[in-house]
Amino acid sequence: MKIQLQVPVGIQIQAFYVFFLIHTTQVGTGIMGISTHIYSTAKQDAWISILVAGVWMSISVFCMGKILQQYESADLPGIQVDIFGKFVGKFLGTILALYFFGLLISVLLNYIEVIQVFLFPTVPTWLVCLFLLSLVVYAVLGGVRVIVGVSFLFFVGTVWLLIVLYKPISLMEWNHFLPVMGNSYSDIASGAFKTTYSLVGFEVLLFIYPYIQNKRKAHSAAQLAALGTTLLTLAVVVITIGYFSGPQLERLIWPTLSMFKIIQFSFAERFDIIAVGLWMMIVLPNMITAMWLCTHTFKRVYGLRQKQVLYVAAILLFFGTIVFQDRLQINYFTDKLATVGFYIAFVYPIVLWPIVLLKNYIRRKRGTSQ
């Protein structure tokens, strides 16, 4: 496997678009229910857990940038083969590809369940899955530039949803946040850990790097994306905790979507139904990027054609979503996947950076001694 990727100029992207790619990859189904998950552990100090997770994410992105600076135009599968050897590198690459495959299943299952609860209770799972996968496959076939373009357009098309939350904001009770630091440090740390499922996705920087034209600006764009996602998650958690009481929040599955129920316009009494439909524009870039990461990694590790891997992955995803029909199964699968994602996105880059530095130092030392 080639360590360095020679990407034609015609399919390269500007670092400016890395912000939108990373941000839309992070924001998906996780933010719909993140407040409930964090509040169950950190209670009124959940907002502190978000800040802790945001700082940790920034440190991880910093390590990613330092790792990539050691190479001219390499991605994570190539770096792993270069550092650990062919066998171990391919093994780690396979784990990454399977992780992105599982992430795609998780996003599909969670959003399909939302559609069945809010919009179409009787629609079969396979039909919604077929529709979403068709859009995902079509976008991935278009290549990196199409994927980035979708992320940019859907970000612009959905960012206005934050404005309509003015009603829940006006009804917030600030005493819901008292007492500040009323929970133990372990509870706050546990809340930060539970935040990771909604923040994973910034690791796409380690795969998209060879496709970036002005690579020097990639790290700053990734840091801005991480900051934007942290602030968005913080805003959602603060609004939901301030609007709902503690017992209410613990009973809700998707508190973010539930807030849209009180928003009414003269042309739409049930804005929550519109919000669920529009949420597809938030979830689709998430799924498209995950599918590209999965197929791209398999292509790099085993030298397969990405189009063939894409079709096989789509078929497996279609049948895989049928296996999970129970809410408890989906929750269990999502929790396990979140744990894997935590180690891949938040721990692995911090561990990999000194190893890369040590390996390159030894190479330079051997080169000067010869």
Average pLDDT score over the chain: 89
Q: What is the tens place of the pLDDT at every residue in 336-360? A: 898 999 999 999 999 999 999 998 8
Q: What is the tens place of the pLDDT at every residue in 235-279? A: 999 999 999 988 888 888 888 888 888 887 766 677 778 888 888
- Three-state DSSP class for 122? coil
Residue with tokens 């924001």: 27
Residue among 4, 145, 23 nearest 77 (CA): 4
Dist CA 293 CA 101 (whole Å): 9
- Three-state DSSP class for 172? coil
Least confident of 65-79, 271-285, 349-363: 271-285
Q: What is the tens place of the pLDDT at every residue in 8-37? A: 888 999 999 999 999 999 988 788 888 888
Residue 42 in this model has a pLDDT that exceeds 60 = yes
Dist CA 248 CA 267 (whole Å): 29
Q: Please state the pTM of the whole predicted model.
A: 0.92
367: its two tokens = 């080169």
Name the band, by pLDDT with cuts 50, 70 and 90, for residue 370: very low
Is residue 31 within 8 Å of 232, Cβ to Cβ?
A: yes
- Three-state DSSP class for 28? coil
pLDDT, residue 150, reads 93
52: its two tokens = 């802790």
Is residue 318 within 8 Å of 122, Cβ to Cβ?
A: no
Dist CA 318 CA 128 (whole Å): 10
Residue ranges per structural domain of the chain: 9-369
Residues in the chain: 370
Chain center to CA of 133? 18
Backbone angles phi, psi at 142, to 5 degrees: -75, -15
Q: Averaging pLDDT over each range in 155-159, 224-228, 253-257, which range is the top one?
A: 224-228
How many other β-carbons are positioned within 10 Å of the β-carbon of residue 160? 9
Contacts of 112 (CB under 8 A, 6+ apart): 125, 128, 129, 132, 321
Name the band, by pLDDT with cuts 50, 70 and 90, for residue 368: low
Q: What is the tens place of the pLDDT at every residue in 294-336? A: 999 999 999 889 999 999 999 999 988 877 777 778 888 888 8
352: its two tokens = 């990999």
Contacts of 229 (CB under 8 A, 6+ apart): 22, 23, 26, 27, 57, 199, 202
CATH class of 9-369: mainly alpha
